[in-house]
């Protein structure tokens, strides 16, 4: 059995599929799709695995996966091809139509479906009776009986991770899950559609003891020092959530992980309470990601965040006060945007990161497949682009024009290689080493200098947006060009590199010692079946 | 003379060289605005998401577009 997909930050979906198959006696190979069609095909040509499974989250990369499948067929691989993930589950008819090399789509959570499929294929039985599949028969899309979501996450083996963990400044980090599902219904997100379309309980939480058992295993056998919880919404909600995280924190202290490792979660801002988060900080929580998304009430309403601006501000204040690093998602532009809301959003960003606590990051909301907002935009006649490059119009042509001109300019800050991304990398590194190796030389001075540089960089992009938006609104087509900001970004980049490298140069011995300390070395491919 | 940042990078051990690109612990991969710009143009299929499935929708869209165009021409900002 071969699983093909993106392996960034570890691919937990593939990891769970792999471990389930291994538990059922199957051999599993994980392949990175970016290896390319020819290389993958060359390796698999003679192997003829029983099943080749493609793991796809975003529809935009479907052609890339199809090229691999086409090449595999061209070199004579006759295996059963199946695909799973968010987009194939929600849009299986489109996927089957656009990807004729596929034999089936494994709908929603695929662990049990894939095991069943492989067993039936191995036995030469009718695979079309396997629950949880979609496939084409005589030119028609057929869907087998629905398969419920995995009810008991603790019954699943730990994800198969046959690779060295990625590292940040020498410290290995791994992703994991404490829960699956999301009870919310944000209009721009397809995750809740994914979980609500399949039968079964939407939100499922593992027992804290099992989560800590996996963390301990990852620390001992993979050398993990950072854990990235990939839960859509970390289980903090209500009294039950409080009890759950209390137990998690206690177990982390009991096992010594709280002192040796740190972890990140994603959660809603409304759950950030001082006492609770101070306790979690002491148990190793170092980074909280929040999908803030908008700094204006109208934007929060359109995005159906069921949050207020004040709740988001309060969460940021609390995290700063108790010393937990935060990151956030923010959509400067959404379908309800106006020039005034863009400036109000900048005002909000100034409140949360104007002090240089974080580099300003933002984007424009995109209407992904399977989301309520995409349907709404379609009803309003504002949906544009195509399936793989979704787009929409704002309410005024002026704002459309402004966005088109602004995007490449602010991209110098916020695109993948932008200066804000680089600054936040420096912050990530600093917050990690500062937590794992307290007392580093010059840490206080470096933090202050980095904050000053971050604040200056943020203010420059804030002013650019404020001034240009005013000008455009008044019909004055303010000169927006990439060249005018490139030099400034390069100066910030050079200063960042200088500050950052000086700090690390001053601390090489202490960091090297810390990286090698307390790590119990073990085989990377330890037994994964429990 | 003090070393430049680039020279200092070369002095740093491999583990501590600044490599700010690629997945880090902070961001959430749901934000695809700039990532999509890198999707090869030939991969962007011709399938229109804004499919006008009935003639009524076609006429409504045409009427709306015409009204919008009239407003723009009249200097009302569209």
Q: From the CA of B17, how many Å to the nearest CA of chain A?
A: 8
Residue of A nearest to B42 (CA): A63
For A198-217, how does the pLDDT look when each residue is reduced to its tens digit (9 = 90+)?
A: 999 999 999 999 999 999 99
A378 with B78: Cβ contact below 8 A: no
Same domain, A223 and A139: no
Q: Is residue A389 part of a domain?
A: yes
More confident call, A449 vs B72: A449
Q: Is residue A385 part of a domain?
A: yes
Question: How many separate domains does chain A show?
Answer: 2
Residue of B nearest to A394 (CA): B78
In sequence order, what DSSP letters do the residues of A81-93 get, joined into one string?
EEEESHHHHHTHH
Same domain, A180 and A124: no
Same domain, A100 and A207: no
Q: Which of B11, B21, B48 sits opposite A417 (nearest CB)?
A: B21
Q: Which of A189, A287, A390 sits opposite B26 (nearest CB)?
A: A287
Chain A residues inside the 8 Å CB shell of B64:
381
The three-state secondary structure class of A223 is: coil
Residue of A nearest to B21 (CA): A417
Report CA-CA distances (Å) from A400 to A268, A368, A465, B41: 30, 19, 15, 21
Q: Give me the pLDDT at residue B48, please.
A: 33
Same domain, A262 and A376: yes
B9 with A396: Cβ contact below 8 A: no
A421 with B20: Cβ contact below 8 A: yes
Interface test with B, best of A6, A386, A430 (most B CBs within 10 A): A386
Residue with tokens 């001053």, as numbered in its chain: A506
CATH, residue A74: 3.40.50.280
A388 with B44: Cβ contact below 8 A: yes
Q: Give me the pLDDT at residue B58, please.
A: 41
Decide: residue A475, CB within 10 A, 0-12 exposed, 13-18 middle, 19+ buried. Answer: exposed
CB-based contact (8 Å) between B31 and chain A?
yes
Per-residue DSSP letter, A58 = S
Cβ atoms within 10 Å, residue A39: 14
Q: From the CA of A103, how many Å to the nearest CA of chain B?
A: 22
Q: From the CA of A93, how many Å to the nearest CA of chain B?
A: 14
How many whole angstroms separate alpha carbon A171 and alpha carbon A93? 43
Residue A428 clears pLDDT 70, i.e. is over it: yes
Residue of B nearest to A231 (CA): B28
Cβ atoms within 10 Å, residue B41: 6
Q: From the CA of B55, how many Å to the nearest CA of chain A?
A: 14
Q: What angle do CA A382, A384, A389 make, to 5 degrees?
A: 145
For A79-131, how does the pLDDT look when each residue is reduced to its tens digit (9 = 90+)?
A: 999 999 988 998 899 899 989 999 999 999 999 999 999 999 999 999 999 99
Same domain, A284 and A325: yes
Q: Is residue A524 part of a domain?
A: no
Q: Which of A287, A502, A504 sits opposite B25 (nearest CB)?
A: A287
Report CA-CA distances (Å) from A524 to A82, A162, B24: 28, 7, 21
Residue of B nearest to A170 (CA): B15
How many whole angstroms separate alpha carbon B65 and alpha carbon A385? 16
Q: From the CA of B36, how many Å to the nearest CA of chain A?
A: 7
> Could you tell me how many CB contacts below 8 A there are between chain A and chain B?
147
Residue of B nearest to A396 (CA): B78
Chain B residues inside the 8 Å CB shell of A417:
21
Under 8 Å between Cβ of A177 and A229: yes
Which of B 56-75 lie inside 8 A of A, CB atoms? 57, 60-61, 64, 68, 72
CATH, residue A184: 3.80.30.20
Residue of B nearest to A421 (CA): B20
**For A306, phi and psi rounded to 5 degrees?**
55, 45
Cβ atoms within 10 Å, residue A32: 15
B20 with A60: Cβ contact below 8 A: no
Cβ atoms within 10 Å, residue A31: 20
Q: From the CA of A123, how many Å to the nearest CA of chain B?
A: 38
B12 with A504: Cβ contact below 8 A: yes
| Percentage of chain A lying above the pLDDT 90 cut | 85
Q: Is residue A152 part of a domain?
A: no
Query: Per-residue pLDDT averaged across A389-408, rounded?
Result: 93
Q: From the CA of B12, how many Å to the nearest CA of chain A?
A: 6
Q: Is residue A155 part of a domain?
A: no
The model's confidence at residue B26, banded by pLDDT at 50, 70 and 90, is low
Same domain, A312 and A346: yes
The three-state secondary structure class of A345 is: helix
How many whole angstroms separate alpha carbon A33 and alpha carbon A85? 14
Looking at A109, A143, A177, the residue that finishes a domain is A143
Residue with tokens 């076609």, as numbered in its chain: B58
For A33-72, how does the pLDDT look when each residue is reduced to its tens digit (9 = 90+)?
A: 999 999 999 999 988 999 999 999 777 788 899 999 999 9
Q: E-assigned strands of A162-232?
A: 166-168, 171-176, 179-180, 204-205, 226-229
Residue of A nearest to B37 (CA): A389
More confident call, A373 vs B57: A373
Q: Which residues neighbour B66 within 8 Å (Cβ) at sequence distance 6 or greater?
A: none
Residue of B nearest to A191 (CA): B30
Chain B residues inside the 8 Å CB shell of A8:
22-23, 29
Q: Which of A366, A381, A500 sits opposite B61 (nearest CB)?
A: A381
Same domain, A227 and A276: yes
Whether ipTM > 0.85 holds is: no
pTM of the entire predicted model: 0.88
How many whole angstroms separate alpha carbon A418 and alpha carbon A430? 19
Q: Give me the pLDDT at residue B45, please.
A: 40
Query: Per-residue pLDDT averaged across A240-259, rounded?
Result: 96
CB-based contact (8 Å) between B24 and chain A?
yes
Q: Which of A58, A415, A425 sits opposite B24 (nearest CB)?
A: A425
- What average pLDDT does chain A have? 93
Same domain, A402 and A496: yes
B64 with A425: Cβ contact below 8 A: no
Q: Is residue A519 part of a domain?
A: no
Query: Per-residue pLDDT averaged across A270-281, rounded?
Result: 96
Range of the domain at A200: 164-513
Residue A504 clears pLDDT 90, i.e. is over it: yes
Same domain, A311 and A439: yes
A357 CA to centre of own chain? 22
Q: Give me the pLDDT at residue A86, please.
A: 87
A386 with B48: Cβ contact below 8 A: yes
Residue B7 clears pLDDT 80, i.e. is over it: no
Q: Give me the pLDDT at residue B77, please.
A: 45
B68 with A397: Cβ contact below 8 A: yes
B33 with A173: Cβ contact below 8 A: no
A396 with B78: Cβ contact below 8 A: yes
């Amino acid at each position: 059995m071969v699983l093909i997909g993106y392996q960034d930050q570890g691919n937990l979906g593939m990891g769970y599929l792999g471990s389930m198959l291994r538990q059922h006696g199957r051999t599993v190979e994980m392949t990175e799709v970016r290896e390319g069609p020819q290389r993958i095909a060359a390796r698999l040509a003679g192997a003829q695995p029983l099943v080749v499974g493609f793991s796809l989250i975003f529809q935009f990369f479907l052609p890339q996966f199809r090229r691999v499948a086409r090449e595999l067929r061209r070199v004579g691989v006759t295996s059963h091809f199946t695909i799973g993930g968010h987009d194939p589950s929600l849009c299986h008819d489109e996927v089957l139509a656009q990807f004729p090399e596929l034999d089936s789509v494994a709908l929603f959570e695929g662990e049990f479906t894939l095991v069943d499929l492989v067993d039936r294929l191995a036995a030469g039985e009718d695979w079309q009776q396997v629950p949880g599949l979609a496939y084409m028969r005589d030119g028609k899309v057929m869907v087998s009986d629905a398969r419920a979501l995995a009810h008991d996450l603790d019954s699943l083996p730990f994800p198969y991770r046959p690779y060295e963990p990625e590292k940040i400044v020498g410290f290995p980090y791994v992703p994991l899950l404490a829960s699956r599902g999301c009870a919310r219904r944000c209009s721009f997100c397809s995750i809740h559609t994914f979980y609500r379309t399949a039968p079964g309980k939407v939100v499922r939480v593992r027992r804290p003891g099992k989560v800590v058992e996996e963390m301990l295993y990852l620390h001992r056998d993979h050398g993990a020092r950072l854990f990235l919880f990939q839960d859509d919404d970390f289980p903090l909600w209500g009294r039950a959530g409080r009890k759950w995280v209390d137990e998690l924190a206690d177990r982390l202290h009991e096992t010594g992980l709280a002192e040796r490792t740190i972890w990140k979660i994603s959660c809603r801002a409304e759950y950030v309470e001082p006492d609770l988060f101070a306790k979690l900080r002491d148990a190793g929580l170092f980074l909280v990601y929040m999908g803030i998304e908008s700094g204006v009430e109208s934007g929060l309403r359109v995005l159906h965040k069921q949050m207020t601006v004040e709740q988001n501000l309060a969460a940021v204040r609390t995290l700063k006060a108790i010393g937990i690093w935060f990151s956030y998602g923010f959509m400067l532009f959404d379908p309800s945007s106006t020039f005034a809301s863009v400036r109000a959003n900048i005002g909000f960003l100034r409140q949360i990161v104007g002090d240089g606590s974080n580099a300003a990051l933002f984007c424009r909301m995109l209407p992904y497949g399977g989301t309520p907002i995409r349907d709404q935009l379609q009803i309003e006649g504002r949906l544009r682009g195509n399936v793989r490059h979704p787009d929409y119009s704002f309410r005024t042509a002026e704002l459309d024009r402004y966005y088109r001109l602004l995007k490449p300019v602010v991209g110098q800050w916020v695109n993948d290689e932008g200066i804000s991304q680089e600054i936040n990398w420096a912050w990530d590194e600093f917050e990690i080493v500062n937590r794992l190796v307290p007392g580093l030389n010059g840490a206080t001075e470096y933090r202050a200098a980095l904050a000053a540089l971050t604040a200056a960089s943020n203010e420059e992009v804030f002013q650019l947006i404020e001034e240009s938006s005013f000008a455009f609104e008044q019909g004055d087509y303010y000169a927006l060009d990439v060249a005018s900001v490139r030099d400034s970004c390069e100066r910030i980049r050079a200063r960042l590199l200088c500050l950052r490298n000086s700090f690390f140069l001053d601390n090489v011995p202490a960091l090297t010692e810390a990286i090698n300390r307390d790590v119990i070395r073990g085989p990377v491919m330890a037994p994964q079946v429990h | 003379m003090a070393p430049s940042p680039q020279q200092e990078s070369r002095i740093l051990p491999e583990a501590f060289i600044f490599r700010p690109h690629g997945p880090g612990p902070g961001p959430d991969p749901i934000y695809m605005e700039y990532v999509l710009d890198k999707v090869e143009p030939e991969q962007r299929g011709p399938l229109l998401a804004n499919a006008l499935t009935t003639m009524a929708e076609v006429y409504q869209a045409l009427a709306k577009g015409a009204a919008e165009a009239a407003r723009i021409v009249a200097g009302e900002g569209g």
